[in-house]
């Protein structure tokens, strides 16, 4: 409905509804990982985290569906702790802005209740 001197314009724009089950938090945390069945340790970096999974940067490509034994180092208030978990590679791509590292999304597959509580508490501390 138009009023004097005012035109009605159609409303349009984009709405981004978060489809994730758990909120993600930006982090910059070191990780160590082993491909299941291998004793060779590799290093990487977690760039965001949630209770469901991680965005990781690795120097090598990994295959979707591959399982990793992963150690994520958490730091807060001058304390350092770590969680150990088995993760599954959900997706991967190359992110050339970060020196050609492979961006890799992993979901938690097998994590002890104690380590999951550590992660939940760490993420809660980031939301304050």
Q: What is the pLDDT of residues 16-64, one digit of tens each?
A: 444 557 788 999 999 999 998 899 999 999 999 999 999 999 988 899 9
Domain of residue 71: give its range: 25-126
Residue 117, Ramachandran bin (φ over 0: left; ψ between -120 and 50: alpha; else beta): alpha
> Average pLDDT in the 94-103 region?
70
More confident position, 45 or 13: 45
CATH at residue 119? 2.40.10.220
Residue 93 has a pLDDT of: 87
Does residue 3 fall inside a structural domain? no
Residues 109, 90 contacting (CB under 8 angstroms): no
In the chain, the number of structural domains is: 1
Does the pTM surpass 0.95? The reply is no
Considering the chain, what is the average pLDDT of its residues? 83
Supply the DSSP string of 48-97, one letter for each residue: EE-SSEEEEEESS---TT-EEEEEEEEEETTEEEEEEEEEEEEEEEEEGG
Does residue 42 fall inside a structural domain? yes
Does residue 41 fall inside a structural domain? yes
Does residue 15 fall inside a structural domain? no
Residue 16 has a pLDDT of: 43
């Amino acid at each position: 409905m138009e009023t004097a001197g005012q035109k009605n314009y159609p409303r349009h724009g984009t709405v981004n509804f978060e489809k994730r089950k758990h909120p993600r938090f930006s982090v910059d945390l070191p990780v160590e990982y082993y491909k299941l069945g291998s004793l060779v340790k590799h290093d990487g970096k977690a760039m965001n985290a949630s209770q469901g999974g991680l965005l990781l940067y690795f120097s090598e490509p990994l295959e979707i569906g591959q399982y990793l034994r992963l150690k994520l180092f958490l730091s807060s208030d001058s304390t350092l702790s770590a969680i150990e978990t088995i993760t599954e590679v959900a997706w991967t791509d190359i992110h050339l802005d970060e020196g050609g590292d492979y961006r890799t999304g992993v979901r938690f597959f097998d994590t002890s209740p104690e380590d999951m509580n550590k992660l939940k508490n760490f993420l809660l501390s980031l939301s304050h």
